[in-house]
């Protein structure tokens, strides 16, 4: 089971290292032909406007939409979650995106003052032990559709991880901590 990692921009190498540690074969996805060789895909954190532009330039938007609609498991972390969302708040009007998951991703939800922070919170499906979450200019998820299950929320109720069928979105970066549980969860999807 080869796990594709979208490698246009952002922290794809950290995902790759984590999967290597778990023992899952990976492939960097940059072109539509790479997509044909993978069974699932991670869209990493980075800058959603840049990744969106590159997706469009490399002709990846439609092939990706088709694969994901056909049930290929996909996981977007941070910028990747923004790219998966059907609606983007605080985005740029010309921001290309996949627009598949029935959520609103509110970009830079923690303001520009607070660049990054870490907290420990439980995640549905990962057991009792809280997960260390690293947030970097992170979005939150709002207006979850009926088919979307929230997996984790902040103390104020804002959702930071959710799943809709074979689509997973996390606003934080599990690839930046040693905890493998979120990656294993994705591999089990």
- Judged by the rule CB under 6 A, the positions of this chain that interact with ligand GLN are 45-48, 78-79, 82, 107-108, 136-137
The single-letter DSSP state of residue 74 is: E
- Residue among 15, 153, 175, 183 flagged as catalytic: 175
CB of 70 to ligand GLN, least distance (A): 26
Crossing angle between the packed helical segments 48-57 and 61-69, to the nearest 10 degrees: 100
CB of 137 to ligand GLN, least distance (A): 4
Closest to ligand GLN by CB, 85 or 127: 85
| Alpha helices in 23-170, H assignment, sequence order | 32-35, 48-57, 61-69, 79-84
Separation between Cα atoms, residue 76 and residue 81, nearest integer Å = 4
Q: Is 171 a catalytic residue?
A: no
CB of 60 to ligand GLN, least distance (A): 17
Q: Is 39 a catalytic residue?
A: no
Q: How many helices (H) and strands (E) does the chain have?
A: 6, 12
- Residue among 14, 16, 34, 78 flagged as catalytic: 78
Closest to ligand GLN by CB, 2 or 143: 143
* Spatial CB neighbours of 127, under 8 Å, sequence gap ≥ 6: 181
Closest to ligand GLN by CB, 68 or 85: 85
Catalytic residue IDs:
78, 173, 175
């Amino acid at each position: 089971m080869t796990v594709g990692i979208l490698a246009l921009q952002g922290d794809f190498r950290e995902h790759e290292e984590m999967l290597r540690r778990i023992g899952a074969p990976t492939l960097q996805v940059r072109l539509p032909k790479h997509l044909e060789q993978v069974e699932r895909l991670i869209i990493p954190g980075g800058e959603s406007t840049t990744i969106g532009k590159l997706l469009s330039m490399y002709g990846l938007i439609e092939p990706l939409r088709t694969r994901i609609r056909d049930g290929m498991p996909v996981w977007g972390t941070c910028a990747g979650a923004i790219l998966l969302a059907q609606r983007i708040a605080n985005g740029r009007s010309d921001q290309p995106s996949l627009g598949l998951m029935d959520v609103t991703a509110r970009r830079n939800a923690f303001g520009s003052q607070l660049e990054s922070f870490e907290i420990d919170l439980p995640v549905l499906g990962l057991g009792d032990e809280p997960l260390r979450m690293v947030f970097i200019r992170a979005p939150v998820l709002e207006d979850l559709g009926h088919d979307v299950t929230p997996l984790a929320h902040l103390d104020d109720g804002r959702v930071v991880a959710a799943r809709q069928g074979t689509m997973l979105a996390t606003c934080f970066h599990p690839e930046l901590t040693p905890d493998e549980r979120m990656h294993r969860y994705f591999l089990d999807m």
